[in-house]
């Protein structure tokens, strides 16, 4: 049985073979068009939506799915007209400019990622096999309580970022998956995934997957660890294998 | 029986508002004489946000309990400070619905709904910061460029004027609580991130007719225009979005102005860019500029000077000075002579790297500029502080400032082109994410910054104390005549501190971000403290038995 991932690998290969003409599902944009869409996004949209498109609660613009639109043209129309009764204003951009923003949002600049020179099929085998990635990131990269899902990682990360995450996982730890270690006044040490903190208390998911909350007054020490539970693959995988993993992760583009 | 008495007394109070002259300007000048009312955005015309009510004290503050909650029918940020007039609390349910609430029960008397144009495009949420009152009339600016006067008795619209040039499709939006001076209502537009040309304008309170206007960006031929290269003044910004103050002795009204446009690339607007990032002192009768002080010349970091200019008389070097205290988004706090604009002192209250310090006239030295590769600068683009109201206590002599400590952002210089109605910014600064997520979640490292309430002493220039919070804050500060300081923050607590030491005395979990300034009022013998948090307005008072 062909896995969902393998289907995507084939789609990626097809897109790569088709070249830049396939950038954007409904428009033929050059990479510089899409880059311009990204610039427009950063200027016109990022103030509210954030640089990564996830600043508005419940809205992740680069996830590939949209609550109010199913086609690229519908998204472009919303960019131009706004959503009455909400904070989403109309934006004075042309139809073409709006379409380039959509293309950028949907990661058209990453369909043929520069530097992703590896073999995604071999990368998938490493992900599920010797890399032991599934032990934390779950089957098919679906995520776990202690590691992020990677199903759309190809949309939200550049190949260079993926490569860095494999080689130096502590360089930029996902804030949703920081590890905190606390020591109580009684001397007990608990380590877990930091879920929330305030001046008065701290919430975490401990190693036994229990949700726990501690009054800071009862703690001797709180340390957010600079280390990541993810191992570095620098000494484990060859440069070619790293490239294969990056190529595979680049095909992970979420629900389509 | 008790309830019946309360109802009768409420009716009497309401009649008091209606039957006589209502809130005259003389009453606005003498707010200290009627601390049961909160009659302006900051509680007084000098912006001190200090209540003279004395029932709630450090000794009994732990007995505060919630009296009522008003849940807004709105998911916008709740940034308004209510007014309280003889028992009635008036506030704005964002974007622009005015609500009259019984200050004792939280029950709604009436709601006035304003349907905004679909063309509005405020930069940072469809917010409103409150109302002004004169006699029996409430005043509100709207996101789509109107100034509206309502009958405080029933919310009936008395007049509604479209402010000339305040076109929502070009980014103009009124979010500020108006300021009443004499028989005029003063407002100015937000929109500094859309390349508007900012202004401050006064309107006849009886008719809405415009009386005067001061453009915060001078036109060709006007003094200061030479601080803008070419035609860049036309899109210069210098917006208004925090309420100004008024000094009756000099008849000057003071307003802080916003950033020059575009925000993060000043190459097209070489020069100091007056009067962006400044405080301007205007003759309240004519709107003529008496003096100005620019905090951040040629700003490329979006360091709006949209803070409340707090007026206080302080002892400096053996001399009583009619001062203005100004804690600025750029991370420095200033003491100015409010009669002349003379710079008296200025120093950082948080980590600052965009300048190495100030010269003898308060001008920043060695100012850095964003680069195409990105330059990390302290403080963060949201600033060392922002629009959140500070407070001054004449009792302690301390200036209380909500602050973001040791936060930074990476500023990138990139090309930017003006298109009407489109954000006119450049590239959004990157780095640590410190923006509100709409929920009290904090997973940041301590090294990425934290929030604080600071007590700054204008007499010495030193910090008297700091109350540290894990998360940053968008909440204003209220000080009291009993030496309490009330504030809140993104952690979702509303709390009271000892005004002399900063020691925490009381807190309540309000379940949402506090993004507004607290205020206080009294009904009969009972003092209330109110603050908006999340999408609701909360009112607290002492337990009846503890009064």
- Alpha-carbon distance B470 to nearest alpha carbon in chain A (angstroms): 5
| Residue A37 CB contacts under 8 Å (≥ 6 apart), including other chains | A29, A97, A99, A100, A101, A102, A103, A104, A105
Per residue in A22-53, pLDDT (tens digit) is 334 456 778 788 888 888 888 888 878 877 78
Residue closest to B300 by CA, chosen among B383, B370, B252, B365: B370
Q: Which of the two residues, A58 and B329, has the higher pLDDT score? A: B329
**What is the pLDDT at residue B433?**
60
Fold of A24-110: Cytochrome Bc1 Complex; Chain D, domain 2 (1.10.760)
Query: Chain B contacts of A42, Cβ < 8 Å?
Result: 414, 427-428
Q: Which residue from B minimizes the CA distance to A46?
A: B428
- Residue B473 forms part of a structural domain: yes
* Angle (nearest 5°) at CA B392 between B137 and B492: 80
**What is the pLDDT at residue A16?**
41
Ranges of beta strands (E only) in B72-113 are: 83-85, 88-93, 97-102, 108-112
A-interface mutation test, from B370, B429, B442, most A Cβ less than 10 A away: B442
CB-nearest partner of A178 from B443, B470, B492: B443
Percent of chain A at pLDDT exceeding 70: 85
Query: Chain B contacts of A82, Cβ < 8 Å?
Result: 118, 121
Task: Report whether B451 contacts B444 (CB < 8 A).
Answer: no
Pairwise CB contact (< 8 Å): B122 & A178: no
Domain A120-168+235-250 of CATH type 1.10.760 = yes
Pairwise CB contact (< 8 Å): B443 & A51: no
- Residue B16 forms part of a structural domain: no
- Residue B9 forms part of a structural domain: no
Q: Report how far residue A123's alpha carbon sits from residue A131's, in angstroms, rounded to the nearest whole number.
A: 9
**What is the pLDDT at residue B229?**
98
- Residue B352 forms part of a structural domain: yes
Query: Chain A contacts of B493, Cβ < 8 Å?
Result: 198-200
Task: Report whether A60 contacts A51 (CB < 8 A).
Answer: no
**What is the pLDDT at residue B110?**
98
Strand B399-405 relative to strand B391-392: parallel, antiparallel, unpaired? antiparallel
Residue closest to A195 by CA, chosen among A221, A215, A175, A172: A175
Would the pLDDT of A88 be above 60? yes
DSSP A45: I
| Cis status, amide bond into B379, omega within 30 of 0 | yes
The full set of domain ranges for chain A reads: 24-110, 120-168+235-250, 179-224
- Residue B5 forms part of a structural domain: no
- Alpha-carbon distance B418 to nearest alpha carbon in chain A (angstroms): 11
**Tokens representing B68?**
């009522």
Q: Identify the helix (H) or strand (E) that includes residue B505.
A: strand B504-509
CB-nearest partner of A92 from B123, B421, B446: B421
Task: Report whether B155 contacts B216 (CB < 8 A).
Answer: no
- Alpha-carbon distance B438 to nearest alpha carbon in chain A (angstroms): 7
Query: Chain A contacts of B74, Cβ < 8 Å?
Result: none
Q: Tell me whether the CATH fold assigned to A120-168+235-250 matches the one assigned to A179-224.
A: no
Pairwise CB contact (< 8 Å): B492 & A198: yes
Pairwise CB contact (< 8 Å): A47 & B423: yes
CB-nearest partner of A57 from B118, B428, B438: B438
Instruction: Tell me the HSE value of B61 on the side-chain side, using a 13 A CA sphere.
Output: 22
**What is the pLDDT at residue B369?**
97
| DSSP assignment of B340-388 | T--EEEEEESS---S-SEE-TTS-EES----BTT-EEESS-TT-SS-SS
Fold of A179-224: SH3 type barrels. (2.30.30)
Kindly tell me the sign of the dihedral angle through the C-alpha atoms of B396, B33, B402, B428.
negative
Query: Chain A contacts of B472, Cβ < 8 Å?
Result: none
Catalytic residue (one of B302, B304, B474, B498): B302
**Tokens representing B150?**
């309502």
Pairwise CB contact (< 8 Å): A46 & B428: yes
- Residue B381 forms part of a structural domain: yes
ipTM of this model?
0.84
What is the domain extent for residue B75? Answer: 21-546
Question: Which residue is associated with the tokens 């004169």?
Answer: B134
DSSP B339: T
**What is the pLDDT at residue B327?**
98
What φ, ψ does residue B545 adopt, rounded to 5°?
Answer: -70, -20
**What is the pLDDT at residue A248?**
92
Residue closest to B471 by CA, chosen among B421, B505, B433: B433
Q: Report how far residue B276's alpha carbon sits from residue B269's, in angstroms, rounded to the nearest whole number.
A: 12
| Residue A210 CB contacts under 8 Å (≥ 6 apart), including other chains | none
- Alpha-carbon distance B388 to nearest alpha carbon in chain A (angstroms): 19
Total number of domains constituting chain B? 1
Q: Report how far residue B89's alpha carbon sits from residue B101's, in angstroms, rounded to the nearest whole number.
A: 5
Q: What HEC string does B157-186 produce?
A: EEEEEECCCCCHHHCCECCCCCEEECCEEE
Phi-psi region of A37 (alpha: psi -120 to 50; beta: other; left: phi over 0): alpha
Query: Chain B contacts of A199, Cβ < 8 Å?
Result: 468-471, 491, 493
Task: Report whether B135 contacts B163 (CB < 8 A).
Answer: no
**What is the pLDDT at residue A13?**
43
A-interface mutation test, from B124, B419, B471, most A Cβ less than 10 A away: B419
Report how many Cβ contacts below 8 Å link chain A to chain B: 97
B-interface mutation test, from A196, A198, A214, A219, most B Cβ less than 10 A away: A198
- Residue B3 forms part of a structural domain: no
Residues listed for chain A: 256
For residue A176, what pLDDT band results from cuts at 50, 70 and 90? confident
Helix A159-167 vs helix A239-250: crossing angle, to nearest 10? 130
For residue B124, the domain's CATH number is 2.140.10.10
Residues of chain B predicted below pLDDT 70:
1-20, 431-439, 545-547
**What is the pLDDT at residue B544?**
85
**What is the pLDDT at residue B437?**
56
Query: Chain B contacts of A175, Cβ < 8 Å?
Result: 433, 443-444
**What is the pLDDT at residue B6?**
46
Would the pLDDT of A19 be above 50? no
* Cα distances (angstroms) measured from residue B129 to each of A182, B266, B320, B457, B474: 41, 29, 33, 28, 13
Q: Report how far residue B366's alpha carbon sits from residue B373's, in angstroms, rounded to the nearest whole number.
A: 20
Pairwise CB contact (< 8 Å): A90 & B421: yes
Q: Is B313 a catalytic residue?
A: no
Would the pLDDT of A253 be above 90? no
């Amino acid at each position: 049985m062909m896995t969902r991932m393998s289907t995507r690998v084939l789609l990626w290969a097809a897109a790569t073979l088709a070249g830049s003409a396939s950038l954007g599902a409904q428009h033929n944009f050059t990479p510089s068009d899409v880059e311009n869409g990204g610039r427009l996004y950063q200027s016109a949209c990022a103030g509210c939506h954030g640089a990564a498109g996830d600043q508005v609660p419940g809205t992740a613009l680069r996830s590939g799915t949209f609550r109010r639109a199913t086609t690229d043209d519908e998204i472009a129309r919303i960019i131009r007209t706004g959503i009455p009764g909400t904070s989403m204003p109309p934006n004075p951009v042309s139809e073409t400019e709006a379409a380039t923003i959509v293309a950028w949002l949907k990661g058209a600049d990453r369909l043929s990622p520069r530097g992703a020179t590896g073999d995604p099929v071999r990368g998938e085998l490493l992900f599920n096999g010797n890399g032991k990635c599934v032990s934390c990131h779950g089957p098919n990269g679906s995520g776990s309580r202690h590691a992020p899902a990677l199903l759309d990682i190809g949309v939200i990360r550049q190949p260079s970022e993926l490569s860095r995450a494999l080689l130096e996982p502590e360089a930029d730890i996902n804030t949703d998956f920081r590890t905190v270690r606390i020591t109580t006044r009684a001397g007990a040490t608990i380590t877990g995934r930091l879920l929330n903190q305030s001046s008065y208390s701290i919430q975490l998911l401990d190693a036994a997957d229990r949700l726990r909350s501690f009054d800071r007054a009862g703690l001797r020490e709180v340390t957010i660890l600079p280390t990541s539970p993810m191992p570095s693959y620098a000494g484990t995988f060859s440069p070619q294998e790293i490239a294969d993993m990056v190529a595979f992760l680049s095909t992970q583009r979420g629900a389509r | 029986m008790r309830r019946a008495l309360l109802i009768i007394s409420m009716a009497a109070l309401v009649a008091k508002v209606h039957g006589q002259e209502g809130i005259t300007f003389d009453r606005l000048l003498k707010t200290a004489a009627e601390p049961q009312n909160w009659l302006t955005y900051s509680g007084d015309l000098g912006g001190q946000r200090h209540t003279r009510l004395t029932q709630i004290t450090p000794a009994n503050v732990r007995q505060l309990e919630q009296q009522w909650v008003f849940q807004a029918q709105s998911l916008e940020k709740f940034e308004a400070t209510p007014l309280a007039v003889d028992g009635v609390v008036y506030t704005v349910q964002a974007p622009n619905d005015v609500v009259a609430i019984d200050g004792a029960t939280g029950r709604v008397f009436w709601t006035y709904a304003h349907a905004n144009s679909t063309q509005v495009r405020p930069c940072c949420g469809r917010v409103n910061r409150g109302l002004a009152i004169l006699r029996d009339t409430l005043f509100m600016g709207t996101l789509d460029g109107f100034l509206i006067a309502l009958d405080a008795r029933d919310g009936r619209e008395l007049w509604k004027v479209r402010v000339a040039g305040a076109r929502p499709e070009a980014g103009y939006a009124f979010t500020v609580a108006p300021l009443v001076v004499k028989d005029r209502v003063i407002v100015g537009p937000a929109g500094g991130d859309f390349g508007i040309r900012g202004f401050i304008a006064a309107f006849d309170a009886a008719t809405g007719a415009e009386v005067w206007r001061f453009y915060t960006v001078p036109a060709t031929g006007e003094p200061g225009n030479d601080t803008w290269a070419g035609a860049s003044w036309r899109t210069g910004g210098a917006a208004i979005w925090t309420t100004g103050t008024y000094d009756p002795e000099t008849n000057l009204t003071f307003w802080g102005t916003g950033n020059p446009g575009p925000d993060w690339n000043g190459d097209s607007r070489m020069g100091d860019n007056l009067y962006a990032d400044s405080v301007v002192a205007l003759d309240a009768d004519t709107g003529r500029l008496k003096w100005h002080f620019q905090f951040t010349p040629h700003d490329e970091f979006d360091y709006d000077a949209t803070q409340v200019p707090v007026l206080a008389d302080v002892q400096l070097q053996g001399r009583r000075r009619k001062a203005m205290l100004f804690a600025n988004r750029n991370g420095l706090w200033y003491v100015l002579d409010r009669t002349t604009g003379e710079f008296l002192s200025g120093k950082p209250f948080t980590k600052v790297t965009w300048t190495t310090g100030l010269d003898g006239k308060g001008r920043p030295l060695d100012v850095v500029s964003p680069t195409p590769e990105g330059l990390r600068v302290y403080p963060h683009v949201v600033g060392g502080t922002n629009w959140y109201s500070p407070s001054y206590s004449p009792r302690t002599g301390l200036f209380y400032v909500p602050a973001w400590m040791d936060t930074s952002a990476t500023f990138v210089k990139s090309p930017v082109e003006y298109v009407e109605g489109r954000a006119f910014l450049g590239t959004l600064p990157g780095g640590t994410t410190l923006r509100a997520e709409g929920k009290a979640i904090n997973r940041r490292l301590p090294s990425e910054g934290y929030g604080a309430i600071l007590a700054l002493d204008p007499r010495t220039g030193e910090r008297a104390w700091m109350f540290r919070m894990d998360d940053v804050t968008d909440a204003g500060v209220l000080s009291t005549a009993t030496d309490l300081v009330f504030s809140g923050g993104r952690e979702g607590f509303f709390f009271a501190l000892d005004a002399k030491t900063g020691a925490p005395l009381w807190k309540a979990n309000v379940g949402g971000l506090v993004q507004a300034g607290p205020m206080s009022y009294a009904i009969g013998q009972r003092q209330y403290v109110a603050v908006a948090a999340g999408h609701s307005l909360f009112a607290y008072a002492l337990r009846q038995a503890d009064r």
